[in-house]
Structure 1
Amino acid sequence: MPTVKLKDNEPFDVALRRFKRSCEKAGVLADVRSREF
């Protein structure tokens, strides 16, 4: 599972965008969709 640590003075929106991008790179959503019934 990808993790993202907030940097000093980093807005939450930016961290969320980084988290979404790291999930995409790791293939998390594709994996969930493939296991969906």
Structure 2
Amino acid sequence: MLNPKSNSYSFNFFNRPQIQLVWIFELYISAILT
């Protein structure tokens, strides 16, 4: 997942507002379940 080749893909992926919201939402849920 942390491959140098996929850095640009990951950046574009997380740079999308909607995807970022989902990512933050998942972090929020994982924080509650932990």
TM-score, normalised to structure 1, is: 0.45
State the structure with more CA Rg. 1
TM-score, normalised to structure 2, is: 0.49
Higher relative contact order (CA 8 A, sep 6+): 1
Higher fraction of helix: 2
